[in-house]
Amino acid sequence: MDWLLHAGDDPGHKFLLMLIAIALFVVLMGIILFVVDRPRNPPRWFIGFGFVGAALLLLLIGLVYPALQTILNSFMNRNSTSFVGLDNYVRAFTEPQFLIVLGNTALWVIVAPIVATFVGLAYAYLVDKSRFEAVAKGLVFLPMAISMVGASIIWKFVYDFKPAGVEQTGLLNQFIVWLGGEPQQFLINRPLNTFLIMVVFIWIQAGFAMTLLSASIKAIPDDIIEAARLDGVSGLGMFWRITIPSIRPALVVVLTTIAMTTLKTFDIVRTMTAGDFNTSIVALEFYNQRFRQGDAGLSAALAVLLFVIVIPVIIYNVRQQRLSEDVR
């Protein structure tokens, strides 16, 4: 049993376990299909449950139940031993330290999706049908492939600081020195540090926005553009009066999707500053409270809060989708 559970630091053992895990689920799938196929005239619920049962069971045990447990824990003390009512939520909304976290999160959710979407849109529009379109899009697209940890390191290097008088190794400080300024420790000062960390996220998400918006720009019928052009619309007028209204549903999807991703993003702030220098956001503070401060109650409350903030974004998304379907 222990052999099946722990591979230690033996790579061969690890790969073997990996193959066993994959094989196990192939066999599981085979057994399920075999059982479903067995009876001559099986009742429908039997077949239905055979196909969807495994997934539903996992979701129930691994997603629904833990989520309910977290909600319960958010009303308990730091060891989850006694009921404390709304104390954790009160703390999250009154203590200055957490007010900064909430403020940062609000900044993130509002600024990052808008900037990322705008850059993605502008770029998609600018390179649309140009000769270099494929290459140009590839450049902005690529950051989506790498981890947020990797992206954070790339940008941390751009923000690198060496004291004045020493040769700079960070590009941003080098620019400041070239322009005759003093080198800065960018990640120390609030609120600038939060915006600079956000740049990493925007750098990643602009590619997503560009891809989706580019597809919907291409879907605008040519005759609409032709007609607008004959009416004398051109340049920025074309962009604001034809392109934007035509792709509005896609814009809403992109904005809300990025907003939801923003809320859950934890890797970037953790890699850049670990949440120090007043840069923490809810998704990270949840982790820090549980695993650095050992406060299970507060951590649970922050996780629940994260879920609660996502809901209005989704409702907005669904309502906008409905509206655009009605128009169609």
Do 142 and 212 form a contact (C-beta atoms < 8 A)?
no
Task: Tell me how far, at minimum, the Cβ of 190 lies from other proteins, in Å.
Answer: 20
Quick one: 96 or 248, whose CB is closer to other proteins?
248
Q: Which of 24, 51, 22 is nearest to 36 (CA)?
A: 51
Task: Tell me how far, at minimum, the Cβ of 97 lies from other proteins, in Å.
Answer: 19
Task: Tell me how far, at minimum, the Cβ of 40 lies from other proteins, in Å.
Answer: 10
What's the rounded Cα separation, in Å, for the pair 154 and 272?
A: 10
Q: Residue 31 pairs with which residues in a beta bridge? A: none
Please report the DSSP string for 61-81 in residue order: IIIIHHHHHHHHHTTB-TTS-
Task: Tell me how far, at minimum, the Cβ of 29 lies from other proteins, in Å.
Answer: 5
Give the contacts of 106 (CB within 8 A, at least 6 positions apart). Answer: none
Q: Residue 83 pairs with which residues in a beta bridge? A: 76
- Strands (DSSP E) contained in 108-248 are none
Quick one: 96 or 102, whose CB is closer to other proteins?
102
Quick one: 96 or 166, whose CB is closer to other proteins?
166
Task: Tell me how far, at minimum, the Cβ of 103 lies from other proteins, in Å.
Answer: 19
Task: Tell me how far, at minimum, the Cβ of 134 lies from other proteins, in Å.
Answer: 10
Quick one: 107 or 260, whose CB is closer to other proteins?
260
Quick one: 96 or 165, whose CB is closer to other proteins?
165
Reduce the DSSP state of residue 135 to 3 states and report it.
helix
Quick one: 100 or 296, whose CB is closer to other proteins?
296
Q: Which two tokens stand for residue 274?
A: 């670990």
Q: Which of 268, 262, 258, 254 is nearest to 147 (CA)?
A: 268
